Amino acid sequence: MKFLKVITGFVLVTAMLTACGSDDKKETENKEPAKEETVTVDNGSASKLEGAWEIMRAEGMAVKSNLGTVYTFKGDNLTMGKSGFDNPGKTEITDSTFSFQAEGNEYKFIYNYHFNSDTLVAEMQNSNGQILHMVKN
């Protein structure tokens, strides 16, 4: 039963992340593509995120499902995992945002982030206030 709850939670989180994406082409046809510079220097933001970050507190939707999820940044790879289930993908990191695009998925989720002391605070764009507070493992 516990295993079923874990699987259900993981499926709900994955469904929520997928539902937050948009394939509405009308919005982007008349706009110039946004240009963001990826930070790749060793002392830049990318190196601050490097490593494993565990969600210790969450606000907004799916609070219980998010708690304990680990975001592992390694170069341009980002893996989200919980209870032995990993969702690997790619990331692009700037000084205030990072993205996640799961392997085999066309949707890219973008998070605004900042640091509050040793806590990484991330908010997924267009998520109606879902905020994740993560501590480095």
pLDDT in tens, 19-38: 555 555 555 455 565 555 44
CA distance 52 to 124: 18
- In this predicted structure, the answer to whether residue 110 has a pLDDT above a threshold of 60 is yes
CATH 2.40.128.280 fits 2-21+37-136, yes or no: yes
pLDDT in tens, 66-100: 999 999 999 999 999 999 999 999 999 999 999 99
Q: Please give, one letter per residue, the 3-state secondary structure of 58-90.
A: EECCCHHHHCCCEEEEECCEEEEEECCEEEEEE
Domain residue limits, the chain: 2-21+37-136
Which of 57, 59, 109 lies closest to 80, judged by CA?
109
Predicted structure pTM score: 0.68
